[in-house]
Amino acid sequence: MALPVTYIQVVAVERVTPRTARITFEADALDDSVGRTPDQQIKLCFPKPGRTEPVLPGGGDDPTGWYQAYLAVPEDERPWMRSFTVRGRRPGTRRLEVDFVLHGDGGPASAWADRARPGDRLGMVGPSELYARPVPLATAVAGADWVLLAGDETALPAIATLLAALPAGIRAVVYAEVADEAERQPLATPADLTVRWVYRDGAAPGGPLTDAVRAADLPGGTPFAWLAGEASAVRAIRRHLVEERGLAKASVEFAGYWRHRLTQDDAPTAEDFADAQEKLAQAG
């Protein structure tokens, strides 16, 4: 299975909330499968200062080999790389939509998105099962009485695509943490949906979401749970669901998208390694 690598170019920028920019890209090459299934993860490569587009190594059948080629790019030219979820695909085109959270801390992705204009170019790696397996949504939902989706604003693109893919009639409960009421987004689904918006209002990320799920009066029966967002919050919610609510580990999909006070350029922590090992074991 080849690892797709291509350049993408901005064709439109929309502010869907004060802190979220939805950017539409035209890809130089785009597989037909992109944007057809929920929670498709990609990696975007951002150019270093002074460059109009990133230096992008070629693709291959081995993600480790591609990453070694990426690391071989001289440091002053090596692009910043960040993970995102495909928010949507324009049917019949090579266009896709990606949502960026504008957190204003000077991070390369947020800073780039805040000033993005049509014609700007990035590199894109994936989506590919080589580094991110698809969520087994159909199988999981078939064995569940209801669905729980919980995450912060970084998880909203994935939550939106998962909700759109749910079958009609199944009950779905979403807990979504955002900065404040202005960051709410519409979520469409054929499912029977309940959304609980959780506002940080200046609190540390992840804490309000964790507290809200712990205090939640959740439906009875056996759920399928999907969790994503700040890593320590995801870890705490998963532990609560398994140890205190009695959910089977196999019925909880989880992903730590980001780490408070750390970036993707920082070394993994011991907890990051433990999460990765458990996800590998669960996938196997």
Least confident of 20-24, 59-63, 83-87, 198-202: 59-63
| Average pLDDT score over the chain | 89
Domain with CATH 3.40.50.80 in the chain: 137-283
Token readout for 131 is: 């580094």
Q: What is the pLDDT of residue 199?
A: 98
Query: Listing from the earlier edge strand, what are the strands of the sheet with 223-230?
Result: 192-199, 171-178, 146-152, 223-230, 252-258
101-159: pLDDT as tens digits: 998 767 899 999 999 999 999 999 989 887 788 888 999 999 999 999 999 999 999 99
C-alpha 21/C-alpha 197 separation (Å) is: 19
Domain with CATH 2.40.30.10 in the chain: 5-125
Q: How far is CA 173 from CA 19, 53, 94, 195, 259, in A?
A: 24, 41, 33, 6, 25
Percent of the chain residues topping a pLDDT of 70: 88
Least confident of 25-29, 200-204, 233-237, 258-262: 258-262
**Which residue has better confidence, 163 or 90?**
163
**CB–CB of 35/151 below 8 Å?**
no
C-alpha 54/C-alpha 271 separation (Å) is: 31
CATH number of the domain at 137-283, please? 3.40.50.80
Q: What is the pLDDT of residue 278?
A: 54
CATH number of the domain at 5-125, please? 2.40.30.10
Buried residues in 125-140 as b, exposed as e (16+ CB within 10 A): bbbbebbbeebebeeb
